Chain A
Amino acid sequence: MADETTLTAAREEAGEAKPAAAPSAAPRGDAPTDDDRATNFFKVAGRRRTPVASRLATVVKRSLALVLLAGLWEVLPRVGAVDAVFVPPLSEILVAWYDMLLAGQLPEHFQASLIRSLSGFGLAIVLAIPLGLAIGWYRPVADFLSPVLELFRNTSAVALLPVFILIFGLGETSKIVFVFYACAWPILLNTVSGVKTVEPLLIKSARSMGLGPVRLFQKVILPAAVPTIFTGIRLAGAYSILVLIFAEMVGAKAGLGYLIQDAQFSFRIPDMYAGIITISALGLLFNLLLLSVERRFSTWRTS
């Protein structure tokens, strides 16, 4: 008899809960919380709950701007509205892109850039997360490091590039260190704040179940901080490409930044645009990759 009341109660509540729970039944990635404009296009295309017609309409609407942009890029230079020498029609750029791809030029530069940015980015993840956890968790570490961090944090990475070149030379090392430096900050700061902003009630609840500091950290602090850490990682991912291109423009013999700079100097304008498009694509790809990893790690996240 008692069990009966339980069941009905649960059912009642389940019924009442359903409307609230319904949105979460949609694919998780569709949470409208991601402010990433770059990836919105893809996410909307993947939405499942909306009826087919409206889904199609959204896809068309979303791609319309892109198609329009491509069309304008093609037509305006051709009709002479913009100078075709400085802004060649899109088709010419795509041809140049394809030629560079076949010639092996593009893959070579692409690879050079990718290795540098991934190295710096990876290094930043490996070093900044543990450091951030230590700073966020241990008061003495925070007190000790805070002044130094505050100083460096307000020193632009770009301003330090000459220093890196001076110390590490013009080779790969200085570029990787440069990328590392730029990537480390968003990861570090987000990790620290992720640890510091864990809901105190969760800590209290875990402590009441007898968890010591180590287990508390492992079972509560760390998982609670993961979303914030990922925000930092995603920011760093964008930075890793951004600052690398800059470094490659200042002094390099390979890489997409070098390609763009070199193409501009030698007036191979379509090649320059091809390089720029490649960088955009790389950035987009990187972000998508990180987003999907993030989603895997934080399926539970609501907002």
Chain B
Amino acid sequence: MSLQTAEQNLLEESVAEAGEPSAKPVKIGIRNVGKVFQIRGSDRPFTAVQDVSLDVREGEFLTLVGPSGCGKSTLLDLIAGLTSPTSGELLIDGTPIDGPGLDRGIVFQQYALFPWRTALANIEFGLEAKAVPKRERRERARHYLDLVGLDGFEHRYPHELSGGMRQRVAIARSLAFDPDVLLMDEPFAALDAQTRESLQEELLRIWEKTNKTIVFITHGIDEAVYLGQRVAVMTSRPGRIKRVLDIAFDSREGDLRADPRFGEYRHHIWTLLRDEVAAAQEQERTIG
């Protein structure tokens, strides 16, 4: 019963906060976006995401949670411009997204580093695409390697680095070409708990320092609450936005996870997700 009231309080708060006029302009606008896949060998279209509307403001850190297979990665691909929506529209700075660009950087769960390039050369990759002169490329790559705490590892190949270090390189690579938006698809999911926590902290530090707009997909509720200023919860497939929660702590000092509000947020999202996860599992059973 007490939980119920806590939830109620949180909800009222988020409504109140969402109602306030926000100073920052909208960076990413997602308007009634749907994505339907044509499955080979089947005439039944496959709806991955449906009628998603969401605004991400400039400099915001938004986390996105949802049951597996609900269309999170699909949504990220759409924002990245790697695929186009079958309905609705996506805007960046008010103009429709038309293909990928260096104004958005992606960090994948599986790092996606080029194995034939050293850490430094990997970070330079996007700068080459941007036609930055060689000397400046080197300098900038070194700078970002330092930023993610990997100075001294510039000449290592990806297979000579641990998982956490690889993801640091991948983050540095995306930061190096200085995109406004960082799209992260479960970037820490493959790491052990300790490495994940230290990378979470660093990501927050980098975000505060660089003012990027970050969309961060995770299936960890803790991670979503810890990192996000807002948490968007998606429904099971076809993915829609079920609820967007504002996360606000009085202070981020100390152990945030021990804060009672942390637990409240966590529980609230867990409740929202529970039914969706059950629905997703049911779906998988009936399809399989």
A5 to B99, CA, bound (A): 37
Q: Are A204 and B82 neighbours in the complex by a CB distance under 8 Å?
A: yes
Q: Which of B42-50, B155-163, B280-288 contacts A (4 or more CB under 8 A)?
A: B155-163
What would 10 A/B residue contacts be, using CB atoms closer than 8 Å? A5-B205, A6-B148, A12-B198, A205-B112, A209-B100, A209-B105, A215-B129, A223-B114, A300-B158, A301-B115
Q: Are A24 and B126 neighbours in the complex by a CB distance under 8 Å?
A: no
Closest chain-A Cβ to B75's Cβ sits at a distance in Å of: 14
Chain A: interface size category: 35 or more
Judge if B92 is at the interface, Cβ distance under 8 Å: no
Closest chain-A Cβ to B171's Cβ sits at a distance in Å of: 12
> Which residue of chain B lies nearest to A15 when distances are taken between CB atoms in the complex?
B162
> A264-285, CB under 8 A of B: which get 1 and which 0?
0000000000000000000000
In the complex, which residues of chain B have a beta carbon less than 8 angstroms from the beta carbon of A299? 157
> Which residue of chain B lies nearest to A212 when distances are taken between CB atoms in the complex?
B129
Considering only residues 7-41 of chain A, those with a C-beta below 8 Å from chain B are: 7, 9-10, 12-14, 16-17, 20-21, 24
Q: Are A205 and B128 neighbours in the complex by a CB distance under 8 Å?
A: no
Q: Are B149 and A7 neighbours in the complex by a CB distance under 8 Å?
A: yes
Judge if A207 is at the interface, Cβ distance under 8 Å: yes
Q: A208-B80, A210-B102, A224-B116 are in contact. Are A13 and B108 (CB under 8 A)?
A: no
Considering only residues 25-81 of chain B, those with a C-beta below 8 Å from chain A are: 80-81
Closest chain-B Cβ to A183's Cβ sits at a distance in Å of: 25
Q: Are B198 and A202 neighbours in the complex by a CB distance under 8 Å?
A: no
Judge if B143 is at the interface, Cβ distance under 8 Å: no
Judge if A148 is at the interface, Cβ distance under 8 Å: no
In the complex, which residues of chain A have a beta carbon less than 8 angstroms from the beta carbon of B80? 208
Q: Are B129 and A13 neighbours in the complex by a CB distance under 8 Å?
A: no
A210 to B100, CA, bound (A): 6
Judge if A298 is at the interface, Cβ distance under 8 Å: yes
In the complex, which residues of chain B have a beta carbon less than 8 angstroms from the beta carbon of A302? 115, 159
> Which residue of chain B lies nearest to A303 when distances are taken between CB atoms in the complex?
B159
Q: Are A24 and B100 neighbours in the complex by a CB distance under 8 Å?
A: no
A58 to B178, CA, bound (A): 53
In the complex, which residues of chain B have a beta carbon less than 8 angstroms from the beta carbon of A14? 152-153, 165
Considering only residues 218-241 of chain A, those with a C-beta below 8 Å from chain B are: 219-220, 223-224, 226
Q: Are B116 and A298 neighbours in the complex by a CB distance under 8 Å?
A: yes
Judge if B125 is at the interface, Cβ distance under 8 Å: yes
Task: Tally A-B pairs: CB < 8 A.
Answer: 96
Interface size on B, residues (CB 8 A): 45
In the complex, which residues of chain A have a beta carbon less than 8 angstroms from the beta carbon of B161? 17, 21
Considering only residues 76-121 of chain B, those with a C-beta below 8 Å from chain A are: 80-82, 99-102, 104-106, 108, 110, 112, 114-117
> B190-210, CB under 8 A of A: which get 1 and which 0?
000001001101100100000
A20 to B129, CA, bound (A): 32
A6 to B199, CA, bound (A): 9
In the complex, which residues of chain A have a beta carbon less than 8 angstroms from the beta carbon of B158? 300
A123 to B105, CA, bound (A): 43
Judge if A94 is at the interface, Cβ distance under 8 Å: no
A215 to B102, CA, bound (A): 15
Q: Are B116 and A210 neighbours in the complex by a CB distance under 8 Å?
A: no
Q: Are A300 and B162 neighbours in the complex by a CB distance under 8 Å?
A: no
In the complex, which residues of chain B have a beta carbon less than 8 angstroms from the beta carbon of A254? none
Q: Are B125 and A300 neighbours in the complex by a CB distance under 8 Å?
A: no
Q: Are A21 and B156 neighbours in the complex by a CB distance under 8 Å?
A: yes
Judge if A65 is at the interface, Cβ distance under 8 Å: no
In the complex, which residues of chain B have a beta carbon less than 8 angstroms from the beta carbon of A219? 125, 128
In the complex, which residues of chain A have a beta carbon less than 8 angstroms from the beta carbon of B105? 208-209
Q: Are A20 and B202 neighbours in the complex by a CB distance under 8 Å?
A: no
> Which residue of chain A lies nearest to B192 when distances are taken between CB atoms in the complex?
A16
Q: Are A300 and B117 neighbours in the complex by a CB distance under 8 Å?
A: yes
A104 to B262, CA, bound (A): 88
